[in-house]
């Protein structure tokens, strides 16, 4: 029988973030705040052109500047030092640049000011080449090539998928809709900008303090860089300081990290590279922009018959994880609502634009924008209510989707109900006001996109009943430390504050694939739970001798170890631990556990149950459209999610609210404006994040489905908040004024153009 929240003492409680007081006092140390003795300051020079040959570089004046310790160009980078998941990107380019963010030189100096001055003294002669900025044009046969050594701008990627029989299903459909949608570049805008400090010890072992969401994979990347530098068999220690936001931006290693390593090695001193805001905009990665063609149909009763989608992704000049987002887009395409026949073709195309990376949702917001906009169009064509068509086709527990996703628990219907309860969907709003709904599916139980989807945990009890948990998982502000503390505390009958969670230091913490795919609560949570269970068994074994009862009779609550119903057989946990420690042949209790979920990599047929469970949600928006200006105001917003179990509703709501507002920015205001490869709005004035004054009333109903595989039933919820936001808004705008905007962001200009077209 599934447990209810009243069965728990720590899980399900609104426990404030354990590190919040430290942060509230201004005592949290971010990379910007760390200074090491003798530290130098590195800085990077970027290309002046989107596409050019480097004819000549003269660094002599920079080298001669007093205070400069090292100047690097592409010539100084070992041949095999490359970044990105297909290793196509050296940290400093040699001979040729393919985008404005291409690194062409770097310096280390005794102050940031001197480093900056040194960059100004580097003279580079370029020979400009024709740039290609439109991915669809870049696909054409006679298009100039971004990388001359390749035969085509189209990347070799496997995204050509067909489940069932789409052609047949289309013929048999009663209603079919077809359209084209486009999404823009947006970027993470972490308040804490990027940075790293690299230093080598006397034996050439590297320590790097860096803003990362993937300490273990970053360690691997840096080991490869060391190898390329001729430093084999050396050690790399990755330490992540407190970071000012992640949102996916730190899922790959960046040139600045590898450059800091090169400079530190050359100077034999710690070297820090810290981005300013302009650099953060220009030299970190974006969410993948997409051109999406969608066709889907239903039978006369509104049951979906097929979904056929084709996408072109602007890959930019180099390849980071952005090119793999179709693997996640496939999830909503194949599995948001029941649809048997699915086709999906995606092409990633090199251009001379900036390159993309992971960003909250990992492709899902783009795909869901097209799918859920199209669902409303289909409902209208079929004459079916837009809530009803979603109910008819909703996913349900026990489903296996064409992609092979196994839906263990599904609260989608309850989420739709919750949205309908909060907002009016009867079309009887006042003029210019409308409501919209959109649903989501997302991985909620890890995501196997790498050889291992695992996470380790080491748990150490002290002599006083307190616990140190060393987790592979990474906290970046989302509150993973709380979640782990609450899970371990629940299991051991302690309070969250009794648990110290240590994370993000590869010398101390076990391996983890990274803080991505909304997986940390589920995977790192299960790892910590596994370790807690192991240590619990050890305590039970010891107490069983002490109390002379079978081990399974021993329970843990309120910091006591006891046998229910027997008041004599009870002891504070700390006392019991001391007894275990300070007896002849004593022992200190520790446990380790590595949890690797039983999920599947997609095979050659691009099928497989990538996650142990899936999170669902439905969002509803009520908007007011000013028909004279095109301006959209969000009046109310409801974001209901099936989260399995809320380990901490306070933090969970924080994830949802934050996700929703990021999604609203995606829908309405945010866009990295790129002109011929150059970013034109690299500041917070022109890159329009929502401000507190734009804040929206948001309700976040929590649906608990108690997933059998989740820690205490929990699923992941980090990303879903921003997944269906844009289509919920687009659908509400359509409801309000009858125009459908298919190109994000939905600016007043676009709304006004559409309104004029409609009224003509």
Instruction: Please report, as residue ranges, which positions from 640 to 669 form the binding site for another protein (by CB under 8 A).
Output: 650-651, 653-654, 657-662, 668-669
Which has the closest alpha carbon to 286: 685, 686, 679, 659?
679
Helix (H) or strand (E) holding 704, with range, is none
Kindly write out the interface string for residues 466-505 of this chain, putting x where it contacts another protein by CB under 8 A and - elsewhere: ----------xxxx--------------------------
By beta-carbon proximity to another protein, the closer residue of 437 and 668 is: 668
- Cβ pair 479, 648 in contact under 8 A: yes
Stretch that binds another protein, among 67-75, 79-87, 213-221, 245-253 (CB under 8 A): 245-253
Among 191, 345, 495, 560, binds another protein (CB under 8 A): 191
Query: Cα(209)–Cα(155) distance, rounded to whole angstroms?
Result: 33
Minimum separation from the CB atom of position 481 to another protein (A) = 12
Question: Footprint of another protein on residues 675-704 (CB under 8 A)?
Answer: 675, 680-681, 683-686, 688-696, 698
Stretch that binds another protein, among 75-83, 159-167, 563-571, 626-634 (CB under 8 A): 626-634
Query: Cα(77)–Cα(69) distance, rounded to whole angstroms?
Result: 17
By beta-carbon proximity to another protein, the closer residue of 446 and 721 is: 721
By beta-carbon proximity to another protein, the closer residue of 143 and 725 is: 725
By beta-carbon proximity to another protein, the closer residue of 301 and 629 is: 629
Q: Rg of the chain's alpha carbons, rounded to an integer?
A: 27
Question: Footprint of another protein on residues 267-326 (CB under 8 A)?
Answer: 276-277
Beta bridge partner(s), residue 702: 641
* Helices 386-393 + 364-382 axis angle, to 10: 110
How many of the other CB atoms lie within 10 Å of CB of 652? Answer: 25
Minimum separation from the CB atom of position 288 to another protein (A) = 19
Strands 499-503 and 467-471: parallel
Minimum separation from the CB atom of position 18 to another protein (A) = 10
# residues contacting another protein (CB under 8 A): 71
Among 172, 201, 400, 628, binds another protein (CB under 8 A): 628
Minimum separation from the CB atom of position 404 to another protein (A) = 34
Kindly write out the interface string for residues 22-51 of this chain, putting x where it contacts another protein by CB under 8 A and - elsewhere: xxxxxxxxx-xx------------------
By beta-carbon proximity to another protein, the closer residue of 494 and 668 is: 668
Helix (H, G, I), strand (E, B), or coil: what is residue 669? helix
Query: Cα(377)–Cα(304) distance, rounded to whole angstroms?
Result: 13
Query: Cα(476)–Cα(88) distance, rounded to whole angstroms?
Result: 28
The phi and psi torsions of 576 (rounded to 5 degrees) equal: -65, -40
Question: Footprint of another protein on residues 722-751 (CB under 8 A)?
Answer: 747-749
CA 643, distance to chain mean position in Å, is: 17
The phi and psi torsions of 722 (rounded to 5 degrees) equal: -105, 10
Query: Cα(638)–Cα(642) distance, rounded to whole angstroms?
Result: 13
DSSP 597-618: -S-----TTS----SSSEEEEE
CA 324, distance to chain mean position in Å, is: 13
By beta-carbon proximity to another protein, the closer residue of 405 and 702 is: 702
By beta-carbon proximity to another protein, the closer residue of 221 and 475 is: 475
- Cβ pair 671, 184 in contact under 8 A: yes
Minimum separation from the CB atom of position 16 to another protein (A) = 5
Minimum separation from the CB atom of position 636 to another protein (A) = 13
Query: Cα(90)–Cα(146) distance, rounded to whole angstroms?
Result: 15
Kindly write out the interface string for residues 247-276 of this chain, putting x where it contacts another protein by CB under 8 A and - elsewhere: x----------------------------x
Minimum separation from the CB atom of position 126 to another protein (A) = 22
Kindly write out the interface string for residues 549-588 of this chain, putting x where it contacts another protein by CB under 8 A and - elsewhere: ----------------------------------------
Minimum separation from the CB atom of position 697 to another protein (A) = 8
CA 91, distance to chain mean position in Å, is: 23
- Cβ pair 457, 748 in contact under 8 A: no
Minimum separation from the CB atom of position 148 to another protein (A) = 31
DSSP 8-64: -SSTT--PPPTTHHHHHTT-PPBGGG---TT-EEEEEEE-SSSSEEEEEEE-HHHHH
Question: Footprint of another protein on residues 500-529 (CB under 8 A)?
Answer: none
By beta-carbon proximity to another protein, the closer residue of 41 and 522 is: 41
* Helices 725-737 + 649-664 axis angle, to 10: 60
Stretch that binds another protein, among 189-197, 371-379, 534-542, 601-609 (CB under 8 A): 189-197
By beta-carbon proximity to another protein, the closer residue of 139 and 755 is: 755
Stretch that binds another protein, among 90-98, 383-391, 457-465, 624-632 (CB under 8 A): 624-632
Which has the closest alpha carbon to 324: 348, 345, 300?
348
The backbone region for 268, taken as left when phi is positive above 0, alpha when psi lies in -120 to 50, beta otherwise, is left
CA 179, distance to chain mean position in Å, is: 28
Kindly write out the interface string for residues 149-188 of this chain, putting x where it contacts another protein by CB under 8 A and - elsewhere: ---------------------------------------x
Minimum separation from the CB atom of position 495 to another protein (A) = 16
By beta-carbon proximity to another protein, the closer residue of 174 and 650 is: 650
Stretch that binds another protein, among 394-402, 458-466, 623-631, 710-718 (CB under 8 A): 623-631
Query: Cα(696)–Cα(634) distance, rounded to whole angstroms?
Result: 7
DSSP 389-407: HHHHH---TT-B-TT--B-
By beta-carbon proximity to another protein, the closer residue of 192 and 525 is: 192
Minimum separation from the CB atom of position 757 to another protein (A) = 14
Confirm or reject binding of residue 133 to another protein (CB under 8 A). no
Query: DSSP code of 362?
Result: T
């Amino acid at each position: 029988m599934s447990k209810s929240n009243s069965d728990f003492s720590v899980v399900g409680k609104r426990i404030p973030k354990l590190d919040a007081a430290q942060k509230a006092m201004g005592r949290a140390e971010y990379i910007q705040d760390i200074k090491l003795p003798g530290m130098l300051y590195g800085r990077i020079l970027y290309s002046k052109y989107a596409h050019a040959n480097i004819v000549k570089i003269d660094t002599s004046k920079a080298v001669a500047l007093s205070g400069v310790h090292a100047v690097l160009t592409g010539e100084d980078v070992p041949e095999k030092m490359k970044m990105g998941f297909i290793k196509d990107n050296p940290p400093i380019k040699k001979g040729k640049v393919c985008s404005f963010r291409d690194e062409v030189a770097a310096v280390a100096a005794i102050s940031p000011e001197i480093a900056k001055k040194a960059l100004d003294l580097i003279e580079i002669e370029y020979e400009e080449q024709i740039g290609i900025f439109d991915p669809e044009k870049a696909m054409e046969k006679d298009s100039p090539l971004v990388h001359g050594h390749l035969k085509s701008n189209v990347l070799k990627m496997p995204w050509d998928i067909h489940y069932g029989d789409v052609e047949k299903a289309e013929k048999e459909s009663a209603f079919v809709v077809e359209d084209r949608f486009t999404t823009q570049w947006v970027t993470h805008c972490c308040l804490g900008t990027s940075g790293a400090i690299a230093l080598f010890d006397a034996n050439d072992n590297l320590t790097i303090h860096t803003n990362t969401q993937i300490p273990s994979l970053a360690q691997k990347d840096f080991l490869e860089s060391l190898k390329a530098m001729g430093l084999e068999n050396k050690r790399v220690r990755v330490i992540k300081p407190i970071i000012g936001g992640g949102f996916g931006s730190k899922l790959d290693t960046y040139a600045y990290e590898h450059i800091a390593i090169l400079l530190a090695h050359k100077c034999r001193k710690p070297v820090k590279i810290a981005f300013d805001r302009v650099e953060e905009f220009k030299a970190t990665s974006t969410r993948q922009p997409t051109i999406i063609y969608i066709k889907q149909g239903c039978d006369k009763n509104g049951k979906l018959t097929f979904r056929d989608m084709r996408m072109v992704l602007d890959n930019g000049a180099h390849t980071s994880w952005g090119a793999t987002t179709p693997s996640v887009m496939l999830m909503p395409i194949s599995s948001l609502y029941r649809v048997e026949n699915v086709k999906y073709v995606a092409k990633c195309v090199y251009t001379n634009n900036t390159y993309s990376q992971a960003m909250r949702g990992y492709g899902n917001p783009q795909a869901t924008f097209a799918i859920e906009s199209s669902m409303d169009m289909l409902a209208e064509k079929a004459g079916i209510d837009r809530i009803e068509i979603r109910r008819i086709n909703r996913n349900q527990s026990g489903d296996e989707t064409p992609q092979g996703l196994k839906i263990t628990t599904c609260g989608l219907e309850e989420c739709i109900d919750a949205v309908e309860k909060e907002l009016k969907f009867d079309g009887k709003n006042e003029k210019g006001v409308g409501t919209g709904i959109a649903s989501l599916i997302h991985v909620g139980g890890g995501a196997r996109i790498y050889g291992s989807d695992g996470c380790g945990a080491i748990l150490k009890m002290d002599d006083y009943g307190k616990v140190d948990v060393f987790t592979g998982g990474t906290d970046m502000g989302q509150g993973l430390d709380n979640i782990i503390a609450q899970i371990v505390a629940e299991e051991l009958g302690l309070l969250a504050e009794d648990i110290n969670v240590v994370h993000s230091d590869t010398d101390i913490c076990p391996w983890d694939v990274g803080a991505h795919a909304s997986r940390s609560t589920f995977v790192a949570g299960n790892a910590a739970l596994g370790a807690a269970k192991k240590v619990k068994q050890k305590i039970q074994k010891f107490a069983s001798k002490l109390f002379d009862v079978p081990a399974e009779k021993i329970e843990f609550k309120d910091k006591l170890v006891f046998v229910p119903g027997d008041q004599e057989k009870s002891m504070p946990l700390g006392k019991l631990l001391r007894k275990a420690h300070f007896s002849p042949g004593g022992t200190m209790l520790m446990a380790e556990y590595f949890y690797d979920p039983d999920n599947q990599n997609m095979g050659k047929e691009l099928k497989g149950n990538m996650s142990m469970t899936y999170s669902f949600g439905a969002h509803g928006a009520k908007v007011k459209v000013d028909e004279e200006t095109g301006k959209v105001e969000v009046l109310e917003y409801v974001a209901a999610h099936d989260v399995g179990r809320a380990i901490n509703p306070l933090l969970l709501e924080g994830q949802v609210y934050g996700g929703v507002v990021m999604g609203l920015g995606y829908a309405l205001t945010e866009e990295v404006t790129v002109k011929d490869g150059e970013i034109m709005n690299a500041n917070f004035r022109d890159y329009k994040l929502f401000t507190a004054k734009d804040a929206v009333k948001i309700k976040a109903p929590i649906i608990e489905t108690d997933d059998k595989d989740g820690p205490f039933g929990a699923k992941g919820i980090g990303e879903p908040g921003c997944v269906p936001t844009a289509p919920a808004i687009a659908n509400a705008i359509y409801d309000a004024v009858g125009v459908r905007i298919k190109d994000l962001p939905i600016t007043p200009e676009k709304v006004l153009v559409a309104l004029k077209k409609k009224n003509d």
